[in-house]
Structure 1
Amino acid sequence: MAVLTAERTEEQWLARLIKAHDADLPQLRRMDSFYEGTQPLAYMAPELQRELEETVRQVVINWPRLVVDSLEERLDVEGFRFPDQPESDAELWRIWQANDLDEQSQQGHLDAMVMGRAYVVIGTRDGDATTPLVTVESALDMYAEHDPRTRQIVAAIKRWSEEDERTTIEHATLYLPNSTSWWLKEKGVWIEDPAHPRDDHDLGEVMIEVLANRPRLKCPNGISELADIIPLSDAACKIATDMMVSAEYHATPRRVAFGFGEEDFVDESGRKVSAFSRIIGRMWATEKNRKTGGDGDGADVIQFPEAQLTNFHSTLNLLGSLVASIAGLPPHYVGHSSDNPASADGIRSAESRHIKRAERRQRGNGGTWERVNRKVLRLVTGVWDPRARSLETIWRDASTPTEAQSADAAVKKFTAKIIPLRQTREDLRYTQAQIQRMEEMDREAANDAMARVMAGDMSALEAGWKRPPDDDGEDDDAEQLEGAAA
């Protein structure tokens, strides 16, 4: 990494970032192959692999996908809010929905855990100045460099190619603090793309943010969640493949036949049977006499006992336990069970470390989405809003309590006046849209009750509907209803 310097030209940045990205691509593709289950078979001699290539196919136990998906399933963004407002910000959520970030954010979280990072690009949208364009990009297509002093992104690049029947055209977008430019490669040289005029926005910041998984002080681009799981996954795939080979050749009782010729292995029509039919599931018979010794013309068959596969089962169970321990997964996630099923409390206790890992991801990814929204607001309003520095990401609860437990705890806190009604509904895991509909229903019911009281119907005071408190913390409807009753 290096500090952005005025001496470095755009062409130099382009070459530098492409070189760094090319160096990362082999490892990124390797991690991606493990998540997709397309990795090559490990722990097998190359000579044996070549010999068995046509007859043996790898058995993939895709623990890497299990580890990533089980965490990603607990990372759901539900809104954003400023510190001075109790509800989520409607405008930021509108922009979020307009960019399909419900879906794209999940893909970004997943790619970040698989490859260590994903990227979020913020830009303007043609024809709609009030709705910036926000996209989530794969690390296979993008690379960003950080300033070691400020840890801010100083330059980034996005690459893609277009192919036709005769040639391949390489494209790149270069993101710098005050400009965004589009490039294409002609005759081995990068030139600015005449079809895309450059954008000299002069914002002073690169309009890119990184969704980094487990970033460290010296590794701001993050570390793959699969780094510790891949060796165990390789071992499990090797053992499972060996088990299937053993099942093919050793689990069925083996026979040795003496005194048989090819003419003896025929069906009732006189046609030769396959080698597999000779091994499994067919009766062997011959008219030759049983050989009793000497030079007789008899035949004899000896059967060996079948091989047991329990040694493979034990090894796979051991590897599964190690994966669960390293990844913080509950044992039942990797198929471990006992004769006595775990209680609900036992299951929740087993999930506690897994939930904490999900909450850590929420904190890190939440910071990225808050920085994204600060840049979104800058494009919408034209100024850097200081309030946006205190923006908060609202996440769905990463734990899995029962509905009855959640309701009981939330109601008790609300009854004791520890938390307000809106927080109670958030604790019950209602979405921000559902909460807003409930509050609208509360207001309609309160207005209806007030109208009935003003008409002389005092029974409306017993309805129990109240509007949520205003910014002053007082329930104005309750005050008005009490005044009307008086």
Structure 2
Amino acid sequence: MERTELEWLTHLIGCHDKELGELKALDAYYEGKQPLSYMHPELQAELSEHVRQVVINWPRLVVDSIEERLDVEGFRLPGKAMADEELWRIWQANDLDEQSQQGHLDALVMRRAYVVVGANEKDPDTPIVTVESALDMFAVDDPRTRKIRAAVKRWCEGEDEEEHATLYLPEATVWWLKGKDGVWVEDPDHPRDDHKLGEVLVEVLGNRTRLKRRGGVSELADVIPLSDAACKVATDMMVSAEYHSMPRRVAFGFGSEDFVDENGRKMSVWSRIAGRIWATEKSRKEDGADVIQFPEADLANFHSTISQLAQLVASLAGMPPHFLGHSTANPASADAIRSSEARLIKRAERKQRAWGGSWERVMRLVLLVKDGQVSPDVSALETIWRDASTPTVAQAADAAVKKHQAKIVPLRQTREDLGYTQAQIERMEEEDEREAQQVMQRLAAGDMTPLFGTKPGPGPEPDAPEGGEPPEASSGNAA
């Protein structure tokens, strides 16, 4: 039995509420605001005024190292050598360069993000595309077709923090408002959009989706336990530094009035603890005065533990050890550094493959909203990504030029491989066309220089012999 719109709304909100706690916890780990783990509550309460938690934010490092390699550069239609200008225009008009980066970031952290497409009343040729957080949206898909059946977006606004929601269904998009009595009603300020397109205008950017985990898995799942342990060890190290890193002294036969500096002024408590100059008239033999010093604590065990945890994080996240500050006495070679990034690059390429399909479905929704239909050719749309690896400029140029010289790839593809943007490539092609026209004009005027080059000039005069005459004259006189 098909649900009504109100039933869909309440069902989706209930599902969203069940996972909000976990999503907020994942977001807190990325922001470095997670609670301290592995410490007894009584000890934490006693030290709260003296020691703060030391946060080693490895979760952010793990996420950012992947996200930094995910940049969309265009969309190519089948049979076309160049990126589609119209799709890229819509992409740029919606600031999706920035929004896509934020969507990738949220998907890596909170398992998924959402992309919403809608009609633009002011400019029908440019549909509105927004990227939304999983903290605000939830969607369910059809178990047979894997297409989204319904989705909801929630937010609060106004001084009274009124709750609003938008329900996305295959035939309509409906705006809702929660009344003071707790009942959802259609928002009178936002008329419903009965688009009748047969598609829910929402797409999911799922991270590490599996057959039984269509909602995705956070990139932080393996890192969080190790991050908690590192934060605990680092906090313990600061507690030890507070109480045990300075040598402890026991003074026998002294009163507080005996602790004075070299000028006879009474010393503060911290000065006595820190071990500044002490002066007293009491003696060990007559007054029984004595001072015993205990050795200070060695913090090296904390350092080695944090280093070991960092190596485990690097192994699980596929990151080069030097990303986490691990270095050796002998610097690694350039080839070794690139080799250490192989797993990280492969992970980024896997994200490109999965999210490339998501962005292609988004652009098909854009064309559906814009034109009311989608051409069959668009089903083979291709997302163009920037190279996820980090080759040097010289290596990239050498490989690209050799492929072009061997006639493996055309010139435009060579320029794309070198990382030039579509606008830069178009300017280069305009300059190539201008130079070609100039060559044809010179050839038409009878100037063959473009074909054969300039005529070589006369060579240098031969050196004269020691007698001062040219070689020809010398040989003639000799004859």
* 1:228-247 alignment runs, 5 A limit: 228-247=222-241
**Whole-Å separation in 1 of the counterparts to 2:255 and 2:153:** 68
Higher mean alpha-carbon deviation, 427-436 vs 388-397, is at 427-436
Q: How does 1:161-310 map to 2 (within 5 A)?
A: 161-164=156-159, 167-186=160-179, 187-265=181-259, 273-290=267-284, 292=285, 297-310=287-300
Distance (Å, rounded) in 1 between the aligned partners of 2:259 and 2:150: 73
Deviates most, 255-264 or 54-63: 255-264
Cα distance per residue 1:388-433 (max 9 Å; x no partner):
1111110010001111111111111111111111111111111222
Partner of 1:59: 54
Match of 2:124 in 1: 129
3-state SS of the aligned residue for 1:172? strand
Question: 3-state SS of the aligned residue for 1:129?
Answer: coil
Closer, same or farther: CA 309–124 of 1 in aligned 2, 3 Å: same
Report the Cα offset of residue 263 of structure 1.
2.3
List aligned pairs for 1:310-329, cutoff 5 A: 310-329=300-319
Return 5+ residue gaps in structure 1 as ranges: 464-486
**Which structure would you say has the larger Rg?**
2
Q: Is the 8 A contact 2:177 2:184 kept in 1?
A: yes
Matched, 1:440 2:435: no
Equivalent residue in structure 2 for 1:112, among 98, 107, 112: 107
Question: Does the Cα contact within 8 Å between 1:378 and 1:385 map onto a contact in 2?
Answer: no
Q: Which amino acid aligns with 1:253?
A: P
- The CA deviation at 1:48 is 0.9
Against the structure 1 CA distance between its residues 169 and 299, is the aligned structure 2 distance closer, same or farther, given a 3 Å change threshold? same
1:298 to 1:365, Cα distance in 2 relative to 1, 3 A = same
TM-score (norm 2): 0.92
Q: Distance in 2 between matches of 1:458 and 1:372?
A: 53
The 5 A counterparts of 1:420-439 are 420-439=410-429
**RMSD (CA atoms):** 1.5
Equivalent of 1:48 in 43, 47, 51:
43
Aligned residues between the structures: 452
The percent of aligned pairs where both chains have the same amino acid is 69
Q: What is the TM-score normalised by the length of structure 1?
A: 0.90
Q: What is the deviation of 1:318? A: 0.5
CA deviations over 1:419-449 (Å, ceiling 9, x no partner): 1111111111112221111111111211222
In structure 2, C-alpha distance between the alignment counterparts of 1:346 and 1:309, rounded to whole Å: 32
Which whole-Å CA distance do the structure 2 matches of 1:35 and 1:314 have between them? 24
The alpha carbon displacement at 1:82 in A equals 0.6
Structure 1 residues 354 and 457 mapped into 2: Cα distance closer, same or farther (>3 Å)? Answer: same
Pairing partner for 2:400 from 398, 407, 410: 410
1:378 is matched with 368
Q: 1:425/1:246 Cα in 2 relative to 1: closer, same or farther (>3 Å)?
A: same
Change (3 A) 1:21 1:302: same
Contact 1:78 1:395 in 2 (8 A): yes
Structure 2: any 5+ residue segments left out of the alignment? 454-479
Letter in 1 for 2:392: T
* Aligned residues of 1:155 and 1:175 also touching (Cα < 8 A): yes
Task: Identify the residue that residue 71 of structure 2 maps to in structure 1.
Answer: 76
Q: Which amino acid aligns with 1:209?
A: E
Q: CA deviation at 1:385?
A: 1.5
